[in-house]
Amino acid sequence: MERLVGWCFFILTGVASAMPAHTPVPGGIAIVRLGAASHATESPAIHFQGRRVLVVRNANDWLAIVGIPLDTKPGTATLEVEGSGERPPVTHSFVVAAKQYPVQKLTISDHRKVDPQPEDMKRILREQEVITKVRTHWAPGEAVDLALMLPADAPLSSRFGLRRVLNGQSRNPHNGLDLAVPRGTPIRSTAAGSVTFAGDLFFAGKTVFVDHGQGLISMYAHLDEIGVRVGEQLARGQRLGLSGMTGRVTGPHLHWTIYLNGTAVDPEYFIRP
Ligand SMILES: [Zn+2]
């Protein structure tokens, strides 16, 4: 079993603020040591559940930063090394601990956003296909910045992982963080990256996706106004739109999701001032 590194992110990124030690849990991340990097110039290609994983260099080690899906069962999880040429293939493992997220009950006044009509379902399925492509996209990136800034200076209103009950019905858990911003607040990109989606979605409303490389992808939802186009390169902190209350909402706020290897993880692991 590989030793898990409850490491400080500043070692990885040069940012002078420490990441609290943590245990891999569903919706969290695992930092897994892959071994010596001294002679290898290219980072190893690592996969988790069939998806490529972000790898960073830390002095003489390669570290995999793995996103753990919210529906992962506690127990041992395995990373696979691509093209190791060895039989059996080289693997690394880590242990996922259980985590129980609180329940959140919400009332949505637009009932159609809770119980979509048949024509809505067609649109939702079409959009899900597009979103899946965007959130699972792999763009090579040498120096991925893991120290993310908040997209707006505002208090958190809903945390990641809440088990949601909408109008008395159980729905998917909350896959991002909500920031309490009034309509019209400038929203900025959490890190440098390129815009891979900008459009209007049934549940998320006006939405922007930014790809930061190596499977680290951010999403900004319920915007009032989108100020960027697909293909545009954004600097860290660059404005991408204005907050609003489009899509399925109880009121104005920003919904912010961070994806790693295709899965939504708690953005609070990455937030740096
Ligand atoms: Zn949200």
Q: Which residue has the tokens 């753990």?
A: 68
- Ligand 1 center from residue 158 Cα (angstroms): 7
CATH 3.40.50.720 holds for 9-96 = no
- Residue 171 has which token pair? 């729905």
- Ligand 1 center from residue 243 Cα (angstroms): 13
- Ligand 1 center from residue 257 Cα (angstroms): 8
Overall pTM surpassing 0.85 (yes/no): yes
- CA atoms 194, 197, 199, 202: torsion sign: negative
- Ligand 1 center from residue 249 Cα (angstroms): 8
How high is the pLDDT of residue 35?
83
Three-class DSSP category at 92: strand
Which top CATH class is 103-269? mainly beta
CA distance 126 to 129: 5
CA distance 181 to 203: 18
Where in the chain are the domains? 9-96, 103-269
> Do 255 and 222 meet the contact criterion of CB atoms below 8 Å apart?
yes
- Ligand 1 center from residue 77 Cα (angstroms): 28
- Ligand 1 center from residue 125 Cα (angstroms): 20
- Residue 153 has which token pair? 């200076």
How high is the pLDDT of residue 85?
65
- Ligand 1 center from residue 161 Cα (angstroms): 10
Are 9-96 and 103-269 in the same CATH fold? no
> Do 13 and 146 meet the contact criterion of CB atoms below 8 Å apart?
yes
- Ligand 1 center from residue 194 Cα (angstroms): 22
How high is the pLDDT of residue 153?
95
- Ligand 1 center from residue 44 Cα (angstroms): 34
- Ligand 1 center from residue 221 Cα (angstroms): 8
- Ligand 1 center from residue 15 Cα (angstroms): 27
- Ligand 1 center from residue 177 Cα (angstroms): 5
How high is the pLDDT of residue 16?
28
Give the tens place of pLDDT for each residue, 109-157. 888 888 889 899 999 999 999 999 999 999 988 778 899 999 999 999 9
Residue segments in the chain with a per-residue pLDDT below the cut of 70: 1-22, 38-39, 84-86, 273
CA dihedral of residues 183, 250, 149, 62 (deg, nearest 10): -150
- Ligand 1 center from residue 107 Cα (angstroms): 14
- Ligand 1 center from residue 131 Cα (angstroms): 16
